């Protein structure tokens, strides 16, 4: 009787762990979608903007593609058969759809003037903030442990080391934010020079002063950072 109970408990625990592993893997699959959509929107915008700003945006595109490839590498060691066709969490699915919609908007614009360019770049700052928040939430959850445990059967891998991968993603989103602000500064300073506006050098002492709210409103969810701004 005791042996039967023991095996029942072990079976239940394994089933629970497998369920949580699959849930975590589903998160990763959805993150891969986010990164691929990010790559597409940056690639689309880079084709509409002149150099050197175009090169910066293409660099961000390849960063997103790199993150996608890393996630795909992780998923290649996980059995995805049980989550085939499963839907992403609502907020993640909506974010992926909104990025895709923004890509379509960018692709259909023929005359991308500096004002529209800066509005789109502001939307991309919101996108990076939302990606940052999404990864941070994942890192702070217990979900990372289950994929890390799966990896430990293949190579020595602790949960902390696994989390560092996503910590690096968060840092990269922060860097993307700074790059986007610099591109906005570059475009607006060129425009300011044309109309002999006030020197932008003074304004750039506060980089966030170049981040204006966009009228495009591509994303329904407002990033926490944006909410905190006066």
Give pLDDT, residue 13.
39
Per the structure, how many domains does the chain have? 1
pTM of the model: 0.74
Distance of CA 155 to the CA centre of its chain: 27
pLDDT tens per residue across span 48-106: 888 888 899 999 999 999 999 998 888 777 665 555 656 778 888 899 999 999 999 89
Query: Helix, strand or coil for residue 215?
Result: coil
Q: Which residues contact 163 (CB under 8 A, 6 or more apart)?
A: 139, 144, 148
| Residue numbers of the domain that contains 12 | 2-228
Tokens standing for 128? 């990076």
Phi then psi dihedrals of residue 155, to 5 deg = -140, 155
Q: What was the pLDDT predicted at 213?
A: 57
Q: What is the mean pLDDT of each run of 10 residues along the chain (230 residues)?
A: 44 47 77 94 91 89 95 75 66 91 90 84 93 89 66 56 84 94 84 60 53 58 59
Q: Give residue 2's pLDDT.
A: 45
Residues 6 or more apart whose CB falls under 8 angstroms from that of 221 comprise: 91, 94, 95, 130
């Amino acid at each position: 009787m005791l042996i039967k109970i023991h095996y029942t408990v072990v079976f239940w625990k394994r089933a629970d762990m497998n369920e949580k592993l699959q849930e975590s893997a589903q998160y990763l699959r959805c993150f891969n979608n986010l990164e691929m959509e990010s790559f597409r929107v940056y690639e689309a915008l880079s084709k509409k903007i002149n150099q050197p700003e175009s090169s910066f945006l293409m660099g961000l595109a390849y960063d997103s593609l790199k993150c996608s490839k890393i996630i795909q590498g992780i998923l290649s060691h996980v059995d995805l058969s049980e989550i085939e066709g499963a839907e992403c969490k609502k907020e993640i699915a909506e974010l992926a759809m909104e990025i895709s919609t923004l890509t379509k908007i960018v692709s259909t614009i023929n005359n991308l003037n500096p004002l529209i360019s800066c509005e789109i770049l502001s939307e991309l700052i919101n996108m990076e903030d939302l990606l940052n928040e999404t990864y941070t939430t994942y890192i702070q959850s217990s979900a990372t442990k289950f994929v890390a445990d799966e990896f430990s059967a293949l190579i020595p891998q602790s949960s902390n080391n696994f989390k560092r991968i996503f910590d690096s993603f968060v840092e990269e989103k922060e860097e993307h934010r700074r790059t986007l602000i610099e591109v906005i500064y570059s475009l607006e300073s060129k425009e300011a020079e044309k109309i002999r506006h006030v020197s932008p050098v003074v304004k750039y002492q506060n980089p966030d002063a170049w981040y204006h709210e966009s009228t495009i409103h591509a994303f329904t969810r407002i990033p926490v950072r944006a909410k905190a701004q006066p």
